[in-house]
Structure 1
């Protein structure tokens, strides 16, 4: 992507009725908001944050009402939680977005709370999904600093922020800050919501667009069942780590379960796989930022583990033994 601050944030098309947003927020105040969590290396989130940073999930893995984290690779689809059924206006906004959605959360930062500078990875146009915000409640002292630029987005507006860049947030006011935070896959239709001056600056060769699933029949999927060694960096590392052939491997296999291939690592199911075409798969909860491509050989399969960031791709190859081999 282009350097500098010009692509770090953009106000998107769409203005929403603040009174209706606040009315539905009032309905949800009667529920139990929980502490923000991040997503670790297992299938469950990490421990609660110690900050006054409360979350109510509206979409989560399997629609679970206790998942305040954004999720990651897994075995289940993202789905609406029971709280979304109580908010028809918010649901209509989400339904209007022209792309697939991942996690959707209402996030409340309390008075005096501060989140230190960090990056959210992997996010951004080059990673294939973006984080969008609709503010509900704010105050002049609730400031997001993104790529060294301060922002106080106003209620009812619609924003993209490139949170893969350094950012922090501090609520120095006397009122909490509440935003609806939407994780969305990137496609051409979603990008039409961005302002023209933003789109004119985008390096389109660096945008990773969402690829729809191409379903395969079970008899064809069964041919990919195999055992192999998977690079540890592919699961939780960075592209440069995948390129380093000296990194550790873990024992893994692909097996057919419920009409999908499931990736098991260390004898534990880690992710259901989504076929993107030509024998290439991503995990549920991931974009094509990480894929595995299976190629048939004379005595089994050759697996290409790939990690992408825009036009950059790192790849490492492992042999796999099939059940029939």
Structure 2
């Protein structure tokens, strides 16, 4: 059974200055402790994705599994985000991260080299409609370092905190001869985070954004009730799919199982553990490392198990039910 709730959402600002400020000298003191070696090029999603071809370098303070070698923003998988070894050398930056009232994903120091122009691009699903907020704390900048976001030029100043909707068209340029360095933090949108937005914008974001739930704890005994097998559309397992693709008739199916491994419910594809699941309450789980954009709810109707596969864009929900059987 397929259902779709289509909701028209208001247009939200592409960028907002948020209500926190940080000490510039402390930011730069931490940065100086982390620049005694060459940072790695930024990579796209997945640790082995294509590396940037321009001088756009990254040092990860938080990454998937706390891997200090990864420079990508991460995505769904078996491992949660965690602090890297680099974070231990940056006590003030650690305080900055702890001050953000949201569930954190990646946190990266990103250095845009002299003469770099990223070209126009957008980061699909890295915006509030999919439950993600990308925040910037500038640490060093120059007059020639510019973010163009939907055609508007921004030159954010050190020590401030900014939200930018980078799912929209943007480009970054550095026309000076020294790098521009920002702390870039990916978070899950929360009501607490939205309290940092300008008051006149909060209702717009509450109406348009996907506000994520906080995880709940479940015992191994409780998780064992969700041990199931079924076949799901292959596109549902791919967070980069176009919104709603998993509902298309004829989408190829993959055999999956839900089983308890090391105190977590884990989804295996063709017997290979692939995505750990985070309990949200009410028999619903999201993908580890992702947002409430993609969830699975376990239902039992007259003794028949089924999975309600759900994706969300803002308040809109798409759902497909598939039959399941107990392991």
**Is the structural similarity TM-score above 0.5?**
yes
Q: Which piece of structure 1 moves more, 26-35 or 298-307?
A: 298-307
Residue in 1 aligned with 2:251?
247
3-state SS of paired residue (1:65): coil
In the alignment, the residues of structure 2 paired with residue 203 and residue 73 of structure 1 have an alpha-carbon distance, to the nearest angstrom, of: 24
Shift of 1:242: 2.1
- Tell me whether 1:219 sits opposite 2:224 in the alignment: no
- Say if 1:84 and 1:90, in contact at 8 Å, map to a contact too: yes
- Say if 2:10 and 2:208, in contact at 8 Å, map to a contact too: no
Shift of 1:308: 0.1
The structure 2 residue matched to 1:67, chosen from 67, 70, 74, is 70
- Tell me whether 1:50 sits opposite 2:58 in the alignment: no
Residue in 2 aligned with 1:29?
35
In the alignment, the residues of structure 2 paired with residue 248 and residue 116 of structure 1 have an alpha-carbon distance, to the nearest angstrom, of: 35
The structure 2 residue matched to 1:143, chosen from 139, 143, 146, is 146
The structure 2 residue matched to 1:302, chosen from 285, 288, 306, is 306
Shift of 1:244: 1.5
In the alignment, the residues of structure 2 paired with residue 90 and residue 205 of structure 1 have an alpha-carbon distance, to the nearest angstrom, of: 32
In the alignment, the residues of structure 2 paired with residue 19 and residue 174 of structure 1 have an alpha-carbon distance, to the nearest angstrom, of: 22
3-state SS of paired residue (1:134): strand
- Say if 1:134 and 1:156, in contact at 8 Å, map to a contact too: yes
In the alignment, the residues of structure 2 paired with residue 89 and residue 60 of structure 1 have an alpha-carbon distance, to the nearest angstrom, of: 18
- List per-residue Cα deviations over 1:211-270 (Å, max 9, x = no partner): 111222212211211221121221221223123122222121111101111011133221
- Say if 1:242 and 1:314, in contact at 8 Å, map to a contact too: no
The structure 1 residue matched to 2:10, chosen from 2, 26, 47, is 2
- List per-residue Cα deviations over 1:6-49 (Å, max 9, x = no partner): 61001111222212211111110014411101114xxx431322
Aligned-CA RMSD value:
1.6
Residue in 2 aligned with 1:234?
236
- List alignment gaps of at least 5 residues for structure 1: none
Shift of 1:79: 1.0
- Say if 1:9 and 1:159, in contact at 8 Å, map to a contact too: yes
Residue in 2 aligned with 1:97?
100
3-state SS of paired residue (1:54): strand
The number of equivalent residue pairs is 317
3-state SS of paired residue (1:112): coil
- Tell me whether 1:128 sits opposite 2:136 in the alignment: no
The structure 2 residue matched to 1:316, chosen from 311, 315, 320, is 320
- Say if 1:299 and 1:321, in contact at 8 Å, map to a contact too: no
Residue in 2 aligned with 1:287?
291
In the alignment, the residues of structure 2 paired with residue 185 and residue 289 of structure 1 have an alpha-carbon distance, to the nearest angstrom, of: 10
- List alignment gaps of at least 5 residues for structure 2: 1-8
- Say if 1:37 and 1:47, in contact at 8 Å, map to a contact too: yes
- List per-residue Cα deviations over 1:119-156 (Å, max 9, x = no partner): 21212222112000011111222111111211111111
Shift of 1:298: 4.7
In the alignment, the residues of structure 2 paired with residue 64 and residue 258 of structure 1 have an alpha-carbon distance, to the nearest angstrom, of: 20
- List per-residue Cα deviations over 1:84-123 (Å, max 9, x = no partner): 1111111111111112211000001111112122221212
In the alignment, the residues of structure 1 paired with residue 127 and residue 32 of structure 2 have an alpha-carbon distance, to the nearest angstrom, of: 32
Q: Which has the higher contact order (CA 8 A, sep 6+)?
A: 2
Residue in 1 aligned with 2:282?
278
In the alignment, the residues of structure 1 paired with residue 48 and residue 285 of structure 2 have an alpha-carbon distance, to the nearest angstrom, of: 24
3-state SS of paired residue (1:126): helix
In the alignment, the residues of structure 1 paired with residue 224 and residue 304 of structure 2 have an alpha-carbon distance, to the nearest angstrom, of: 13
Question: Which runs of 4 or more aligned residues in structure 1 lie more than 4 Å from their structure 2 counterparts after TM superposition?
Answer: none
